[in-house]
Amino acid sequence: MTSPKRILLVGGPGYQLQKAKDLGLDVVYCQFEQDFAPGQRDLVDDVLLTDYTDWTTLRPLVEEAYEKWGFSAAVSLTEPGLDPVARVNDLLGLGGTPYEVSHRFTDKWLMRRRLAETAPDGLLPVAAELVDGHDSLVRFGEAHGYPFIVKPSNGTASFGVMVVRDRAATEPAWRQVQHLRSGSGHPLIDAYRIDRFVMEEYVEGPLYSAETFSFGGRHVVMAVTEAITEKSNHVHVGHAIPARLGPDAERAVAATAVAFLDAMGFRDGPTHTEIILGPRGPVICESQNRVGGALLTDMIEDVYGHDPMSMAIGWPAGLVDPLPERPAPRGAAASWLLLADEGRVDRVDGLATVEADPDTVAVDLWVGPGDLVRPFAGQWDGLGHVAARGPDTDTAVARSRRAAGRLVIHTRPT
């Protein structure tokens, strides 16, 4: 017999376990063995330690756990866990997002194909093709102009994204594609198989994201976020809500996100949809069927009074009431990426001071003494985030940058 108050939770940060407990839920937790902390054992009914991205391994474990525990819903809040949870939904008839829909989000090529096939009103088209040798890069540039974007069809956090600026740049781009296909060597991308690459038309303009929660096909935009991007490598170093946009542009971004979710067939749960405000209007960059990173959950709760991570855990179990409309902001918040010089972490200064600051919303520090700091080439090479609040977005951004500067990560050369 299934229990409406027991869920299968796949991957993700450990603090989500406490959020599930705060909702009164029992949890069967599936996690990579190296990512499970012994202290989490008291928060769960059972633990499945496995590579949950391998369906042939995961399926029998899930079937056995379902027979034993009878969970009523499956949830994941991490990119590698989204498709496995969707497979569980299909296998056990749990409802929730099916694999066909989830995979349109996790595979950027399928997303582009879906949009091209459905041609939804209000969504501007973007030329896209799969990389198939060096010649395909040349052909795409000749057909659609330079610059253009090359990126893995899966993955996250801007990993492997390249800008091909001219004909000469196609050769190094092709070499990089081959390198990443053979194994990235990056310890934080091991959960993804980087094989297919997509070429996309380049759209000039600032980047925003719509943080949305869907209730049975009704999409509520909880926040529109401004992404502050490092131009040298297209990494999002800052995030701010509410975005500094005029009301017409803000409504256009929100409407684009809603039209996109309808086109994708998405009905339930959180999404983080990135949108470029280009010369022709809002253009879909990509989307994830999960809550956004960079402490967005904490910032949305602080500014809008709703925790999208708790909502994502509780909605499938029937513990969350639908939002009747978009929430109104109470001030603003922003987060900033933490960085340090390449090397081994020697010590971290200022953490206690930043955490005690009344303007601090949250701190998420990923490293400690002895950890390796890699060259700053992508989002994955950041060392965490610090978020701060303010009466307006300008003030919140300034405070988050100041807090990031006070949290000093000292390294020694390796």
Give the start-to-end residue ranges of the domains of the chain: 3-96, 127-201, 207-412
pLDDT at 189: 52
Tell me how crowded residue 157 is: count the other CB atoms within 10 A of its CB: 18
Query: Model-level pTM?
Result: 0.93
Q: How far apart are CA 108 and CA 189, in angstroms?
A: 17
* pLDDT for the residue numbered 232: 66
CA dihedral 403, 244, 125, 129 (to 10 degrees): -10
Query: Does domain 3-96 sit in CATH 3.40.50.20?
Result: yes
**Residue 162: what pLDDT?**
86
Cα Rg, the chain, nearest whole Å? 21
Half-sphere exposure in the Cβ direction for 332 (13 Å, CA): 22
C-beta separation of 101 from 27 below 8 A: no
Between the alpha carbon of residue 180 and those of residues 22, 45, 94, the distances in Å are 41, 39, 36
> Residue 229 has what pLDDT?
83
Read off the amino acid at residue 259. A
Q: What is the DSSP letter of 206?
A: -
Print burial letters for 379-413: b (CB count within 10 Å at least 16), e (below 16): bbbbbbbbbbbbeebebbbebbbebbeebebebee
- b/e 58-67 (16+ beta carbons within 10 angstroms → b): beeebeebbe
97: Cα separation from own chain's centroid: 17
| Per-residue pLDDT of the chain in tens (414 residues, 90 and over written 9) | 566 699 999 998 889 999 999 999 999 999 999 999 988 999 999 999 999 999 999 999 999 999 999 999 999 999 999 999 999 999 999 999 999 999 999 999 999 999 999 877 779 989 999 999 999 999 999 999 999 999 888 765 566 788 999 999 999 999 988 888 776 555 555 555 677 899 999 999 999 999 999 999 999 999 999 999 877 666 789 999 999 999 999 999 999 999 999 999 999 999 999 999 999 999 999 999 999 999 999 999 999 999 999 999 999 999 999 999 999 999 999 999 999 999 999 999 999 999 999 999 999 999 999 999 988 877 778 899 999 999 999 999 999 999 999 999 999 998
73 pairs with which residues across the strands?
Answer: 7
Tokens at residue 71, please? Answer: 């969970």
CATH number of 207-412: 3.30.470.20
Domain 127-201 has CATH 1.10.1030.10: no
pLDDT computed for residue 158 by the predictor: 61
404's tokens: 């990031």
Contact 120, 263 (CB under 8 A): yes
